[in-house]
């Protein structure tokens, strides 16, 4: 069964609970965490998943 692409959903918990398709960015979070930087600027174009990344970080470390 094909999964639905969740357009506009920015809460990682909702994506997981409802079984939506998403791009897994855990390797990005791991790389960011291991860098040890005191400040990180995530500068990407609109609609590239910045808010979803922050939602994933919050969910992982909560």
Q: What angle do CA 49, 55, 59 make, to 5 degrees?
A: 145
- pLDDT at residue 44, rounded to an integer: 74
Residues of the chain with pLDDT under 50: none
Q: What is the DSSP letter of 5?
A: B
CA nearest neighbour of 1 among 21, 16, 17 = 21
- pLDDT at residue 26, rounded to an integer: 82
CB atoms within 10 A of CB 39: 4
CA nearest neighbour of 61 among 22, 29, 38 = 29
Domain boundaries, the chain: 12-61
Specify the pTM.
Answer: 0.61
- pLDDT at residue 60, rounded to an integer: 83
- pLDDT at residue 1, rounded to an integer: 63
- pLDDT at residue 50, rounded to an integer: 79
């Amino acid at each position: 069964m094909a999964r639905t692409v969740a357009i506009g959903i920015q809460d990682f918990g909702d994506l997981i609970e409802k079984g939506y398709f998403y791009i897994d960015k855990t390797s990005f979070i791991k790389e960011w965490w291991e860098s040890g930087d005191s400040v990180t600027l995530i500068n990407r174009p609109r609609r590239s998943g910045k808010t979803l990344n922050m939602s994933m970080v919050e969910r992982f470390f909560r």
